[in-house]
Amino acid sequence: MTRFSVLDLCPVNQGEHPGNALRNTLDLARHAENLGFYRYWLAEHHNMPGIASAATSVVIAHVAAGTKTIRVGSGGIMLPNHAPLVVAEQFGTLDALYPGRIDLGIGRAPGTDQRTAAALRRDMTGSEDRFIQDVLQVQNFLAPLEGNPPIRAVPGYGSEVPIWLLGSSLFSADLAARLGLPFAFASHFAPDYLLDALALYRDRFEPSRQLDAPYAVAGIGFFAADTDEEGQFIATSMQQQFLNLRRGTPGQLPKPVENMDPLWNRVEKAGVDHAMRYAAIGGRDTVRQHLREFLELTGVDELILTANIHDHQARLKSFAIAADIRDELIAETASKRDCA
């Protein structure tokens, strides 16, 4: 049965301090662990007033220290922003502290605007070939030592922290397949190539030391409540955040509103609706049917749910509903198998 996991963008609510967001993140991670979610990922973004996970490896340590069993990792580290050795050292350290629980998800976008990317000292002329070489370097730094290399990641070497490739394009799917790595598609904000990327990844997959068969994950926005109206209401915070980002005015996560119509024009609404095409929004029955259809459409091995919901208690409840639906789907699958 498909696993359910969490992608936390560590949202900073309007008028609040990032410290509140980080405390909410740990609370949600403990909640997810108690509910049986499989992994908990955090994403690297920079110069975003509404996201508190810029220092991603630090936040991963914060979450791993406050939980016991759930896997914790990056969804993802934007590798072009960092030297491969530094990434290997950071995640080797995390693995040394929390053995067997750390994932290293890698992406190749800057995770920010171009000016901020330059401030990060990112190589703005970096190519696809450079990214491939950087991924291979990270793999090498985390692998068991062979001989006496002049440079090694300490901690890091021999840890073999699981590496994932993340993306929203065919490039990432193809590279994950060729390297025999698990692949996560960012369909929670970039839905266009989801099905093509999954098909390409599965068709071209080559077994590796890390993975002997393709393993695919898809991201999905999840805004669940007791009624459709309430689900739609809590989702308006994410809609406003997408709208502000598209306008070039990113900010903290806004409070939800009863009606989005006064806030956007027709073109803006179409753009936000497209980005959130696969989002599950509504009451329990509505989101259950949506998840069932999405799983049938994609056949992914794992769903990673994300939910920028302004009210923390409503956010906790949304994930509790997701766990209930997961258990119902597992029971349905078991019943069908028994009947067969």
Rounded to whole angstroms, the Cα distance separating 298 from 313 reads 30
pLDDT tens-digit map of 34-65: 999 999 999 999 999 999 999 999 999 999 99
Nearest to 185 by CA among 169, 174, 199, 171: 169
Tell me the C-alpha distance between 135 and 146, whole Å. Answer: 18
Give yes or no for a cis peptide into 76 (omega within 30° of 0): yes
CATH number at residue 165: 3.20.20.30
- Tell me the residue ranges of DSSP E strands in 134-182: 163-167
Length of the chain measured in residues: 340
Q: Which pLDDT belongs to residue 121?
A: 66
Q: What pLDDT does residue 116 have? A: 66
| 226-253 confidence digits (pLDDT tens) | 999 999 999 999 999 999 999 999 999 9
- Residue 301 reports pLDDT greater than 80: yes
Res 115: pLDDT:
74
7 has pLDDT over 80: yes
The tokens describing 71, both together, are 């896997």
The count of structural domains within the chain is 1
pLDDT at 179 over 80: yes
pTM score = 0.95
Chain mean pLDDT for the chain: 94
Token pair in block for residue 304: 């990673």
**DSSP per-residue letters across 225-240:** ESSHHHHHHHHHHHHH
Strands 302-306, 39-42: parallel, antiparallel or unpaired by DSSP? unpaired
What pLDDT is stored for residue 1 in this prediction? Answer: 72
Domain range enclosing 14 = 3-339
Residue type, 4: F
Q: Is the peptide bond before 155 cis (omega within 30 degrees of 0)?
A: yes
Over 60: is that where the pLDDT of 124 sits?
no
